[in-house]
Amino acid sequence: MKFAKSPILNRRLSPGRSRLVVLALLSGFVVLAGRSLYLQGFDNGFLQKKGESRYERVIEISATRGRIMDRHGDVLAVSTPVKAIWAIPDDAQLAPAQARQLAALLEMDVRELNRKLASDKDFVFIKRQIPPDVADRIAALRLPGIHDQNEYRRYYPSGEVMAHVLGFTGVEDAGQEGVELAMNDMLAGKDGSRRVIKDRRGHIVEDVESIKAPQEGKDVTLALDAKIQYLAYSQLKKAMTDNKAKAGGVVVLDAKTGEVLALANAPTYNPNNRVRLVGAQLRNRAFTDTFEPGSTFKPFTAAYALESGKFHFDTPIDTSPGRLTIGNATIHDAHVHGVLTLAEVIQKSSNVGAAKVALKFQPEELWRVFSSLGFGAPLNLGFPGEVGGRLRPAKNWRPIEQATMSYGHGISVTLMQMAHAYMAFARDGELIPLSLTKVDAPVTAATQVFSSETAHEVRSMLEMAVQPGGTAPRAQIPGYRVAGKTGTAHKLDGGVYAEKYVASFIGFAPASDPRLIVAVMIDEPSAGKYYGGDVAAPVFADVMAGSLRTLGVPQDVPLKPLIMAEAVKEGV
Amino acid sequence: MLRTNLILLLIAAACALGTVSSNHRARKLFTEFEREQNRMRELDVEWGQLQLEQSTWAGHARIEQIARDKLGMRPPAPAQVISLEAVK
C-alpha cells in the first residue's frame, strides 16, 4: 500500500495542533538564535579566551647580565649562555649503556649520575654550566626524562689579576663578591615575558601583549685601568715571593679625579675556577682588613701641627735620648737623632718627635683632624664588607695613646683609607670622594681639610723622606719627583705587639703636580727585611714608574743618576 | 538599485580579501622581524664571546711573557727615554 493512500492522511486534524508544533519549533530556533547572539555579541570574552589559548603562548625573554669593563673598554667580565642538564627521575629510566654515554658527555662518574637519578624528588639538576655544544649532543641522544635549560656563565678573562675588585657571581648569575655584588642592581638583568600567537609550525606570528618587559643588565665601566692593575698585581706578587710575606695589597688612585685605577691583593684566586677556595684568598684586604698604619700616619700629625700655627717647617724638636717615657710606657726611636726640625721628624721618621708634637695638642683637636681625614668610618664605596677601622673617641685617650697615635699605633685603618687620606697632601689640602666607576664629570664634592700652604709643606717633607737622609731612597723614580712615607708597624698578636711587622709605603708623584697616589702594604714580610723602606718602597717605585709611563705623565725633573743612599732606619 | 547593491557587494568582498592579505603580510613581516631579533641576540652573544677571546689573547700577562721570552724585549733604561715637551 502506498503511503499517499494511507487512510490516516484523510483524517482531518484541528489546525490548532499544527500551529502549536510550528510555534514550538520556531521558539526553539529563537532560543538558539538568542543564545548565539549572546555568545557572539554580548558575552564573547570567555569563548575568545578559550580560542586564543589554543594558539597563544607565553614565552620567557631572558635578560643577560651586563658586562664589566675597564676605563678603556676592555672586557673584564662577561656572561655567555650555557646550559644546565636536569632530569625528572621518575621518567629517566636509562639503560646502563645510555647512562654511561650521558656520564661520559658530562664528564662525571656513572655512579654519581645514577645516584642523582635515583632521587625521589620531581626535579634534579644533573650538571649545571655545561657548554652549549655538549648540551646539544646530549639533546641529540633523546634520552627520556633528561632536559636542558638555558642559563648563564660569567667569565673573567683577566683571572686572578682582578679577582678582588670584580668578585664573582654564583650559578644563578647573581653577584656574590666585589663589584659583582656592589653593583648587582645595575648589572643584573630582569627576565621578561610576553604573550604571542604561534602558527602551526611554531613561528611567532603576532605579538599579543608584553606581560613584563625584559630589562637587559647595564654595562658597568670601572675606573680601573687594566694595564696599571696588571702592573700593581705583578709587582705585588713579586714582592710577596721575595719577602715571603703572608699577604699584601696595592692601591693606585688618580689624585685628580679620585678614581681607583688599581686595587690588587694577595693572596688571590682565579674567579673562573673556584674549586679550592679558602677565606684568606677571598679577602679584599684594601677594604676589609684593618691594620695599624705605623709611621705612614705621622704626616697627618705634622700637618695638623703646621695648620695650628704652633709648629713650622723648621721648628726644632729635641728627640734625644731617642726615647720618651709617658706613665709607665716608653716610646723608642730606632736611632738617636738629637734635635730635629719638624720636617726631619717626618724625613727620618722619629717616633719620639711625632709624640712630642702630638702631646702639644688636645685629644679633641687631633680626633677632629683624623676623623675629617676619613679615619674611623667606612669610605662607603659600596664595596661589600668595607670596614671603617678604629678611631676611639677623644675623651677616652690617655696621654700614652695620644702619643702612640701620632705615629700610627693604637689606631686601625684600611689601606684604601690611607691612600685616600694622602690625597689631602696631593691635592693642596682637599679631599675628594673615591670612585670605583669611571668619573666623567668634574669633581665637585671636595672638602678642605688642610690649607694649601700646609699641604705644600708636608709635600716637601714627604719628598725629603724619599731623598738621601730619608727612610725610603728606594722609592725614587728617575725623571720624577716623588713624595711619600714609609711605615713599619709591629703587629698585634693576641693583644701584645709581636715580632711581626706590616711594612707599608704611601706616596704620590710627580710631586710638583701630583697625579697618582700609590699605597703599598706588605703583611708579615719574613725573608729578613721588614722595613717599609726596604720591602714596600721598591714596589711603590715600580708601580708608580710604570703607571706614570702608561699614563704619559710628563717628567718633572731632568734625568740624573740616582743617589742610592742607605735608608735611615725608622722607629718601629 | 540592484546595480548599486551589486557594486557595493563587490567592494565589500574586495575589502575583505584585502584585509586577509594584509593580515597575512603583517604576520610574515612579523616572523621576519622576530628572526632578525633572534639573530641580533645571537650576534650579541657572539660579540661577547669574541670580546672574551680578545681579552684572553691580549691579556697583559701573556703579552708580557711573549715580549720578554719570545721577542727578547725589556723596559727601556731611564737614560734611554727621551721625553718631549707637549705642544701647547
Q: Does the beta carbon of B56 lie under 8 angstroms from any beta carbon of chain A?
A: yes
- Reading the block at residue A424, the C-alpha cell is 689631602
- pLDDT, tens digit only, all 572 positions of chain A: 678 788 777 777 788 888 999 999 999 999 999 999 998 888 888 888 887 777 778 888 878 888 999 999 888 998 888 888 888 888 878 888 888 888 888 888 888 888 888 888 888 888 888 888 888 888 888 888 888 888 888 888 888 888 888 888 887 778 888 888 888 888 888 888 888 887 777 777 777 777 888 888 899 999 999 999 999 999 999 999 999 999 999 999 999 999 999 999 988 888 888 777 777 777 788 888 888 898 999 999 999 999 888 888 888 988 888 888 888 888 888 888 888 899 998 888 888 999 999 988 988 888 999 999 989 888 888 788 888 888 888 888 888 888 888 888 888 999 999 999 999 999 989 999 898 888 888 777 888 999 999 999 999 999 999 988 888 888 998 888 999 999 988 887 777 777 888 999 999 989 999 999 999 999 998 888 888 889 999 999 999 999 998 898 888 887 665 555 566 666 66
Which is nearest to A379 in space by CA: A433, A415, A329? A433
For A139-144, the CB contacts below 8 A with 24+ separation are A141/A98, A141/A101, A141/A102, A141/A105, A143/A92, A143/A94, A143/A98, A143/A102, A144/A91, A144/A92, A144/A93, A144/A94
pLDDT at A25: 96
CA angle A526, A295, A551 (to 5 degrees): 85
Q: Per the omega criterion (within 30 degrees of 0), is the bond before A321 cis?
A: yes
Q: What is the DSSP string of A359-413?
A: TTS-HHHHHHHHHHTTTTS------TT----B---GGG--HHHHHHHHTT-S-BB
Minimal Cβ distance to A81: which of B45, B51, B55? B45
- Backbone φ and ψ for A417, nearest 5 degrees, come out as -60, -40
Contacts of A559 in chain B (CB under 8 A): 78-79, 81
Minimal Cβ distance to B34: which of A78, A155, A204? A204
Separation between Cα atoms, residue A415 and residue A430, nearest integer Å: 19
pLDDT at A494: 72
Q: Min CA distance, B3 vs chain A (Å)?
A: 31
pLDDT at A191: 84
pLDDT at B86: 66
pLDDT, tens digit (0-9, with 9 covering 90-100), for A534-560: 999 999 999 999 999 889 888 888 766
Residue with cell 685628580: A256
Which is nearest to A299 in space by CA: A263, A376, A353, A335? A353
Which is nearest to A384 in space by CA: A292, A283, A291? A283
Minimal Cβ distance to B30: which of A76, A79, A206? A206
Q: Count each helix (H run) and each strand (E run) in chain A, helices first.
A: 19, 19
Which is nearest to A352 in space by CA: A368, A362, A363, A340? A340
Q: Does the beta carbon of A555 lie under 8 angstroms from any beta carbon of chain B?
A: yes
Contact A80 B48 (CB under 8 A): yes
pLDDT at B39: 93
The three-class DSSP label of residue A326 is: strand
ipTM over 0.90: no
Q: Count each helix (H run) and each strand (E run) in chain B, helices first.
A: 2, 0
> Which value, to the nearest 10 degrees, does the dihedral of the CA atoms of residues A288, A301, A523, A549 take?
90
Q: Min CA distance, B1 vs chain A (Å)?
A: 30
Separation between Cα atoms, residue A227 and residue A546, nearest integer Å: 9
Q: What residues of A act catalytically?
A: 295
Gyration radius of chain B over CA positions: 34
Within 130-169 of A, beta carbons closer than 8 Å to B belong to 155, 157-159, 161
Residue A56, burial from CB neighbour count under 10 angstroms (0-12, 13-18, 19+): middle
Gyration radius of chain A over CA positions: 37
Which is nearest to A301 in space by CA: A161, A156, A175, A458? A458
Contacts of A227 in chain B (CB under 8 A): 60
Contact A478 B49 (CB under 8 A): no
pLDDT at A61: 80
A544, A477 Cβ separation under 8 angstroms: yes
Give, for A195, the enclosing helix (H) or strand (E). Answer: strand A192-198
Q: How many CB pairs (< 8 A) connect A and B?
A: 65
pLDDT at A273: 81
Q: Does the beta carbon of B83 lie under 8 angstroms from any beta carbon of chain A?
A: yes
Distances, alpha carbon A273 to alpha carbons A156, A443, B83, in Å:
10, 39, 43
The three-class DSSP label of residue A451 is: coil
Q: Min CA distance, A204 vs chain B (Å)?
A: 6
> Which value, to the nearest 10 degrees, does the dihedral of the CA atoms of residues A229, A233, A234, A238 take?
150
Could you give the percent of chain B with pLDDT greater than 70? 95
Minimal Cβ distance to B48: which of A67, A227, A479? A67
pLDDT, tens digit (0-9, with 9 covering 90-100), for A396-420: 888 888 888 888 888 899 999 999 9
Q: Does the beta carbon of B59 lie under 8 angstroms from any beta carbon of chain A?
A: yes
Share of chain A residues as helix, strand and coil, in percent rounded to the nearest 5: 35, 25, 40
Distances, alpha carbon A112 to alpha carbons A72, A88, A100, A118, in Å:
46, 16, 11, 10
Minimal Cβ distance to A230: which of B45, B60, B86? B60
Q: Min CA distance, B13 vs chain A (Å)?
A: 22
Task: Tell me which chain B residue has its CA closest to the CA of residue A157.
Answer: B56
Minimal Cβ distance to A206: which of B27, B54, B56? B27
- In a mutagenesis test of the A interface, which of B60, B65, B85 is the best target, namely the one with the most A β-carbons within 10 Å? B60
Q: Min CA distance, A229 vs chain B (Å)?
A: 10
Q: Does the beta carbon of A25 lie under 8 angstroms from any beta carbon of chain B?
A: no
Q: Does the beta carbon of A67 lie under 8 angstroms from any beta carbon of chain B?
A: yes
Q: Min CA distance, B18 vs chain A (Å)?
A: 18
- Residues 6+ positions from A373 with CB-CB distance below 8 Å: A300, A421, A424, A431, A449
Q: Does the beta carbon of B34 lie under 8 angstroms from any beta carbon of chain A?
A: yes
